[in-house]
Amino acid sequence: LSHMFLLYHYSYAVSSKIEPFYKGGKVQISKDENHIFCTCGSRVNVLEISTGKIVHSVEHDDQEDITSFALSCDDEMLVTASRALLLKQWDWRQAQCTRSWRAIHTVPVASMTFDSTSTLLATGGCDSTIKIWDVVKQYCTHNLKGSSGVVHLVQFHPDISRLQLFSSSLDCGIRLWDLRSSQCVCVLQSHYSTVTSLCFSPDGGTMVSSGRDKICTVWDLETKKVKRTVPVYEAVEGVVLLPENEDFSQIGVKSRDLHFITAGSKGVLRVWEASTARCVYTQTLPSTPVSGEEKDDDSLSLTCLLHLPSSSRLATVTAEHNILLYQLPALSTQQQFVGYSDEVLDVKFLGKGDSHIVVATNSCQLKVFELLTNSCQILYGHTDTIFSLDVFKKGSLFASCAKDRSVRIWKIDSDSGKVRCVALGSTHANAVGSITCSRMKASFVVSGSQDCTVKVWDLPPDLSKTEADMCQLTVRATEKAHDKDINSVAVSPNDKLLASGSQDRTAKLWSLAGEGSIGLLGVFRGHRRGIWAVCFSPIDQVLATSSADGTTKLWSLQDFSCLKTFEGHDASVLKVIFVSRGTQLLTSGSDGLVKLWTIKTNECVKTLDAHQDKVWGLHTNRKDDKMVTGSADSTITVWMDVTEVELAEEQAKQEDQILKQQELSNLLHEKRYLKALGLAISLDQPQTVLTVIKAICQGEEGRELLQKTLLKLRLDQKESLLRYCVVWNTNARNCLDAQAVLQVLLKHLPPEELLQYQGARTHLEGLIPYTERHMQRIGHLLQASMFLNYMWQTMRVAGAPCSMGQDEEMDTTPLTQAQPFLIIDEEKRRSSGKERQDGGDDSDSGQDEDANLPAVEEGEEEEEEEEEVSVTKKASTNNRRLKNGESATTNGNHHSESEESSEDEDMEENTNDQTKIVKSHPVSPPPQCQTFVS
């Protein structure tokens, strides 16, 4: 057991996954403010706000992308539209489609909305038309034409008594439709670019519209005129009116005038006073760019703004598919959800007890997830893609490096879990591709850059005490280490050595003992392509490297020779780390696989397949019983070591099987065959089931009992029996039991039910050739036994008294009545119709088909010989009975009907229930045989 545990430790299994749930498009929050609805390709995912987990998901059967959706105001109905021009109505809590209908639009639906009564549904199409649907009575009520281009915005007036619908399309005008007359009342012209959102005052008399032309317009809906145009100096994607009679002084609201909040391309929320067109508050981002210049950043831009009035919160959606919740009136960040992480480049465990993971994606933002709740912190600081991460020994400090040429140190608060940047270093001349931390204590970090240099950065001693301002990291040493990009750096467990791996196909070993410089100790050469990762062994003087040539190598730190090479990945090996106290390796590759290797045996003992693309991130905790991987497929997977759990489960499984075997034995002893058969099938052991079948068939009424038992089984149990019969039928020793079961199933089950069984056609086709072989074997045995019986009878007649007449000597009637044979001769051709009525059959057993069957196994030939001997013995016994007068004979070859009946019964008893192919006819020996006997 200890050997097994050492060899296969650690056996990782998936514990949890962080997967994409939002890839752009519409986002809507339920009326009760408990769920967020968002699109992800062909699905609409329902995110529970309190837990951050996907609790429901609906998807079209055709797996077509969903172009738009709408949730009714009472949170009961969800309607989706797909590219297949179908509208589907869902009971989203049960993920069941309750109704579907054609959208009538000639091209996909671009926008949808419900009215406040959840009765009317408006759909705006790419065909420039708007349809209004009565979802209760299930028919189309309006077909509004007149828009130009795609109708990307439809919205009902909140006062349903007005029966008004607003829409916007390519011409940037806002059309007001009167649903009573189905006419466009007017077109509100103010914007010169796409109109993105509309919001209404509580009394319904004022409307604010926003657009990508960097203005917001305040409308008087009574006069249909512009009350105010507010220049906001950014493309606005969402606008929300602040509630009246509430204190929003914290965000600059000093009067009772109309105020609204905008979200747009600059990535911040702004509060505007409508009457003066003045911005009274601008949200402060967690960090500002290093240059200090305010500029538009597509990655930070906001694409949607939603109001949660019951909880007084705002929800924003970023261009990077993050959903953020802010609490009013302070606009403080409350919750953050990462809808789509893009390509995961690195991932590490973090915090006390490995409670968090920090993730670097194809983004300038870091994501820190709390594993227990899946809640996320988005960390701002870097201004370009973050490439690499590393964590110090205690897990409260970690380092990051990015394409912006900088290195940052971050600290997580052990109590609150909040993370902040505490130090910054930025003297590299090009992107920083790799970073590593000191192993013994938090004293320095080492970075490797695309400028081919390695830098050692000293951490200030009072780093943990810094609260407000960031410290500046100082460079202890800089060294031009390689001729091409440096992909990986690693520090030895004693902090005295440094290893670097480069795109120039070499790895190098450096000394960190010198003051102000690092010294080269040796070069590791042998990889055929660039090196992606380097890692020191925790117990031996060994270095591991992984390369784009698909191999992982172990190197001696003494003479820089290659000790071992591990081959198994089909593509580049991106990461390598030591586990199990240095006795095993974990590698991840571009093939999406993670492999566990045992160093001593040079063997891959486990392959983990949980990703569909390159696995860039690979890290284990200090105990090696937990692992996290991050992939280019945007998935983060947390793994747990289950070796001990698997061993315990296997032991429990074996004990359970022993108990079930004992219970099965008791049931057979008590002749409770139905329950015994069901228990044997549940064990999924065909041989055990066969034992039960044989026990059922042992009695005098075994066949009837078998039929009653089998017909009482469940559908799935009958399906298993059919599968087992295919196995039994391949062996001549078990074929009779298999045929007995098949007779019951085929006779009493309709073909429609049999064909519903999984693999039924394959099973039935597999039964045919072996069944034909068994029938041929029986025919051969019967023919062989006929010759032996004939010889025995002639020998008995030859020893009879001389006074016996010629006819009496050659009377072979007992022979023909005792054994049924298939005889084709002139006498049979002249047989009367009376013999056919007695049950005769002149068909052959099909011996010519034997050439098309597989060769008979040696074991089966031995079984045939045993059966032939058995038949001979039975024939001998039968003949002795005939000799002793147990069956009377008559003159010649003529018998009475009563004699034939008694002899038929005797024949059935002596053949031990063997299959009767044809009924026999009296046969006389040929003339030459008569002469020889006489």
* Residue 257 CA, distance from chain mean position: 54
- The two structure tokens encoding residue 85: 């021009």
Quote the crossing angle between the two packed helices 643-669 and 673-682, to the nearest 10°.
160
Mean pLDDT of 175-179: 95
State which H helix or E strand residue 487 sits in.
strand 486-491
Residue 870 is predicted with a pLDDT of 40
Return the closest-CA partner of residue 638 out of 630, 627, 649.
627
Report CA-CA distances (Å) from 684 to 288, 591, 723. 65, 36, 11
Return the closest-CA partner of residue 410 out of 393, 392, 427.
392
Return the closest-CA partner of residue 845 out of 768, 797, 779.
779
Rounded to whole angstroms, the Cα distance separating 165 from 184 reads 9
Residue 540 has pLDDT above 70, yes or no: yes
Rounded to whole angstroms, the Cα distance separating 43 from 640 reads 29
- Contact 424/397 with Cβ under 8 angstroms? no
Residue 787 is predicted with a pLDDT of 84
Indicate whether 468 and 515 sit together in one domain: no
| Dihedral angle of Cα 622, 624, 630, 631, to the nearest 10 degrees | 150
**Domain-located, residue 537:** yes
Out of 9-18, 119-128, 458-467, the most confident range is: 119-128
Residue 654 is predicted with a pLDDT of 74
Indicate whether 247 and 335 sit together in one domain: yes
Indicate whether 254 and 310 sit together in one domain: yes
Burial class (CB in 10 A: 0-12, 13-18, 19+), 399: buried
What type of residue sits at position 537?
Answer: S
Residue 197 has pLDDT above 90, yes or no: yes
Indicate whether 534 and 434 sit together in one domain: no
CB pairs under 8 A, 24+ apart, for 289-295?
289/383, 290/383, 290/404, 290/406, 290/426, 294/266
Quote the crossing angle between the two packed helices 686-697 and 673-682, to the nearest 10°.
170
Indicate whether 629 and 485 sit together in one domain: yes
Residue 382 is predicted with a pLDDT of 92
Mean pLDDT of 403-415: 91
**Domain-located, residue 882:** no
Indicate whether 710 and 566 sit together in one domain: no
Confidence class of residue 643 from pLDDT cuts 50, 70 and 90? low
Out of 116-120, 369-373, 417-421, 883-887, the most confident range is: 116-120
Residue 475 belongs to a domain with what CATH number?
2.130.10.10
* Residue 105 CA, distance from chain mean position: 35
Mean pLDDT of 501-520: 89
Residue 849 is predicted with a pLDDT of 37
**Domain-located, residue 770:** yes
**Domain-located, residue 171:** no
Q: Are strands 174-178 and 626-631 parallel, antiparallel or unpaired?
A: unpaired
Burial class (CB in 10 A: 0-12, 13-18, 19+), 361: buried
* pLDDT tens figures, 216-239: 999 999 999 999 999 999 999 999
What type of residue sits at position 242?
Answer: L
Higher-confidence residue of 296 and 254: namely 254
Which of 455, 479, 503 is the endpoint of a domain?
479
Arithmetic mean of pLDDT over the chain: 81
Out of 286-300, 410-424, 826-840, the most confident range is: 410-424
Residue 818 is predicted with a pLDDT of 40
Mean pLDDT of 901-930: 39
Out of 9-23, 295-309, 620-634, the most confident range is: 620-634
Residue 9 is predicted with a pLDDT of 52
User: CB neighbours (10 Å) of residue 932?
Assistant: 11
Quote the crossing angle between the two packed helices 858-883 and 897-910, to the nearest 10°.
140
Confidence class of residue 341 from pLDDT cuts 50, 70 and 90? confident
Indicate whether 531 and 576 sit together in one domain: yes
Residue 533 is predicted with a pLDDT of 96
Residue 467 is predicted with a pLDDT of 57
Higher-confidence residue of 189 and 294: namely 189
Q: For residue 250, what are the domain limits?
A: 198-286+297-340
Residue 352 has pLDDT above 70, yes or no: yes
Confidence class of residue 646 from pLDDT cuts 50, 70 and 90? low
Rounded to whole angstroms, the Cα distance separating 448 from 436 reads 9
Out of 181-195, 870-884, 903-917, the most confident range is: 181-195
**Domain-located, residue 244:** yes
Residue 565 is predicted with a pLDDT of 95
* pLDDT tens figures, 22-79: 998 999 999 999 999 999 988 999 999 988 889 999 988 777 889 999 999 999 999 9
Quote the crossing angle between the two packed helices 760-798 and 735-748, to the nearest 10°.
120
**Domain-located, residue 72:** no
Q: Sign (positive/negative) of CA torsion 643, 645, 646, 648?
A: positive
Residue 644 is predicted with a pLDDT of 55
Q: Sign (positive/negative) of CA torsion 708, 711, 712, 718?
A: positive
Q: How many domains does the chain have?
A: 4
Indicate whether 429 and 507 sit together in one domain: no
Residue 279 is predicted with a pLDDT of 93
Which of 340, 373, 403 is the endpoint of a domain?
340
Indicate whether 671 and 563 sit together in one domain: no
Residue 356 has pLDDT above 80, yes or no: yes
Out of 324-338, 544-558, 677-691, the most confident range is: 544-558
Higher-confidence residue of 75 and 468: namely 75
Residue 821 has pLDDT above 60, yes or no: no
- Contact 12/24 with Cβ under 8 angstroms? no
Indicate whether 223 and 335 sit together in one domain: yes
What type of residue sits at position 95?
Answer: A
Confidence class of residue 485 from pLDDT cuts 50, 70 and 90? very high
Which of 744, 778, 812 is the endpoint of a domain?
778
**Domain-located, residue 723:** yes
Quote the crossing angle between the two packed helices 858-883 and 760-798, to the nearest 10°.
40
Mean pLDDT of 871-875: 39
Indicate whether 464 and 489 sit together in one domain: no
Judged by DSSP in three states, 313 sits in: strand
Is this prediction's pTM over 0.85?
no
* pLDDT tens figures, 276-293: 999 999 998 765 444 333
Confidence class of residue 372 from pLDDT cuts 50, 70 and 90? confident
Indicate whether 444 and 544 sit together in one domain: no
Higher-confidence residue of 82 and 654: namely 82
Mean pLDDT of 371-379: 86
**Domain-located, residue 532:** yes
